[in-house]
Amino acid sequence: MKNRFKLLALAVPLFFIQCTQQKQANTEEESTAVLAKNYRMEDFKTMPKIDVHTHINTNEKTIINLAKANNFKLLDVAVDVSDYPTVREQVAIGLKHVEEAPKTVAFGTTITVTNWNHPNWAASVIEQLQEDFDNGAVAVKVWKNIGMEATDKGGSLLTLDDPKLDPIFEFIKDQGKVLLSHAGEPKNCWLPLDSMTVNNDRNYFRNHPQYHMYLHPEYPSYEELIKQRDNMLAKNLGLSFIGFHMGSMEWSVDMAGKFLDRFPNANLDLAERMSHTQYQSQQNRKKVRDFFIKYQDRILYATDFVQDEGRTSEELEKHMTTTWKNDWVYFNTDQMITVPQLDTPVQGLKLPKTVVDKIYRLNAERIFPDAWKKNKTL
């Protein structure tokens, strides 16, 4: 009996030691598991990523080379804007980059509203798009000049819901391509400079007063432009769509969520609207984090990087590296970070890896199945 009690006395401490050790091991495993749910800064270069909004307007390859070095693929997008090369020049440059680096670069073409008043305008646009698709374009962009700048022969502004555009959108849908839309502007555009929420808007509209709608009350309101965009989508529900710049709903994740709920084939990119998202998360971090988690299948990473003759390679590389780093820290950590677009620091969202994977790569691969051809040798 004494021996039995002795064994029991020895077994009880041993049992507690084993339980303590097991508990410590479980805690370490849990800590490791929690860590594995989030990317770290050192994961940035090794993780495959896609930027669905860039403009490479020269034969220079600064953006492409830096993208390759940081495991990025790119969508190069043409746009009908006067201070870029002509649309056909942009298309030629873009398709050349695709030919030379098909695993890194895909291309989105655009339409021009030149000759809008010609009776065969839509047919000629479709003919040109067919040629661009045959040559490898995977998407088509419509720009804010429709709604804010271009006019018909009577002097009325063109609108995105004009029936004259419907056969073009129908053709894009039938070809299995994607409509990329920059409709309207950030809501700050209708405010005075000193009332805007982010520094980059103040700088942009100070330098581009022609687009600062606060100075042009004769032009459509923010709400009118959003309504025109939504009217167009309501007529084209089967069309694969990406609203560039968060669909100009950057000021409200609530509004963006309602939009995505209404249009199941619509998606949003983050190009040049990260600061607006960060401004919102300064007010309510949980709401913004919940938005990204709920709509993780509908949001795409993008920057709106531009390569043209007006910026040196060194300046562009510095801008790209700073932007990429700040965005990565914001999405993947809960650190307090300082960004030039905001006057006060913002805390990162620390999104799960599964969410980051979709925003940075998987959504783009699903929406653009013919892009970044893997069977190419280059």
> Along the chain (378 residues), what's the average pLDDT of each consecutive run of 10 residues?
48 49 49 66 96 97 98 98 95 98 98 95 98 98 96 96 98 98 97 97 93 94 98 96 98 98 98 97 98 98 92 94 97 96 97 98 98 64
Crossing angle for the helix pair 285-294 and 274-283, to the nearest 10 degrees: 130
Tell which CATH classification among 2.40.30.10, 3.40.1360.10, 3.40.50.300, 3.20.20.140 matches the domain 44-367: 3.20.20.140
Q: What is the CA radius of gyration of the chain?
A: 25
**Angstrom distance (rounded) from CA 88 to CA 123:** 17
Q: pTM for this one?
A: 0.89
Question: How far apart are the C-alpha atoms of 267 and 77, rounded to whole Å?
Answer: 17
Please give the helix or strand (H or E) that residue 357 lies within, else none.
helix 353-357
Give the pLDDT score at 23.
52
User: How many whole angstroms separate alpha carbon 180 and alpha carbon 140?
Assistant: 6
pLDDT at residue 17, as a whole number: 47
- Is residue 275 packed enough to be buried (19+ CB in 10 Å), middle (13-18) or exposed (0-12)? buried
pLDDT the model gives residue 309: 79
Both tokens of 234, joined, read 């309501």
For 364, other C-beta atoms within 10 Å of its C-beta total 25
Please give the structure tokens belonging to residue 138. Answer: 């995977």
Q: Can you tell me which residue has the tokens 């691969």?
A: 365
Please give the pLDDT value at position 211: 84
Q: Provide the 10 A C-beta neighbour count for residue 296.
A: 18
Under 8 Å between Cβ of 350 and 324? no
C-alpha span between 203 and 26 (Å, rounded): 52
Would you kindly state where each structural domain of the chain is located, as residue ranges?
A: 1-36, 44-367
Q: What is the pLDDT of residue 123?
A: 98
Tell me the DSSP string of 103-141. TTEEEEEE---TTTTSTTHHHHHHHHHHHHHHTT--EEE
**What is the rounded (10 degree) CA torsion for 249, 207, 90, 168?**
40
Sign of the CA dihedral 169, 161, 268, 302?
positive
CA angle 201, 205, 206 (to 5 degrees): 110
Whole-number Å distance between alpha carbons of 282 and 288: 9
Q: Which residues face 108 on adjacent strands? A: 77, 139
